[in-house]
Amino acid sequence: MHFESGDLYHVFNQGNNRQKIFFMRENYLFFLRKINQHILPHADVLAWCLMPNHFHLMIYVHTVEVFGVGEAGCEASCSTTKSRTTTKTTEIDLNKAIGVILTSYTRAINLQEGRTGSLFKAHTKAECLTTPQGITPAFFNTGFGSQLNVRIPEKEYPQVCFNYIHQNPVKAGLVKNAEDWEFSSYLDYCGIRNGKLINRKRAEEYGLVV
């Protein structure tokens, strides 16, 4: 994936062989905590939806690379009380941050479910929404309207994607109305919940409305 600061992206992935990736409510909440921890240092989240076997994120990238302090190891045996942990400053890009989310989540699910191997498809996708030539037209050929004759693509493409993400549970037949699906930012935008993950101000800048 290639990210540029100042652009909007639709990031998505699904379970390997379309298998389930969320097995219980706590799994969804755990994944959201991972997004909060690893994505927000790089980007504002404008929309999100977690489905039983895949996820969607709409993000505005403000910093592709950030610096963080991580544990480098121990100068003596880590099993002794005299050991001293050393730290190092590392540069973490957005690609790596997404990889950390998927790897750590997979490890937790494998432990929970007593399974091994990959949970997600090998490659996470990222579609740039603010560079029209970076859009895959067929992907957005949904019931919400055609992309043909778009007058201001950098404004209209984000809204089409915004709608697509929030209507995903309805299109999949999981619920009758978007507000009935708990694991989506739709509830935050329609005032049912006051979630802190999304950046409403940034969404307003792009005129995004439910």
Domain extents for the chain?
Answer: 8-205
> Do 40 and 8 form a contact (C-beta atoms < 8 A)?
no
How far is Cα 60 from Cα 202, in angstroms, rounded to an integer? 8
* Architecture of the domain made up of 8-205: 2-Layer Sandwich (3.30)
Side chain identity, residue 46:
L
Q: State pLDDT tens for residues 123-150.
A: 999 999 987 554 444 444 444 433 334 4
String of DSSP letters for 16-29: GGG--S--SHHHHH
Q: State pLDDT tens for residues 176-204.
A: 999 999 999 999 999 999 999 999 999 99
Examine the pLDDT at 72 and tell me if it is beyond 70: no
Q: State pLDDT tens for residues 10-46.
A: 999 999 999 999 999 999 999 999 999 999 999 999 9
Share of the chain above pLDDT 90, in %: 71
How far is Cα 134 from Cα 57, in angstroms, rounded to an integer? 17
CB crowding 84-104: b at 16 or more within 10 Å, else e = eeeeeeeebebbebbeebbee
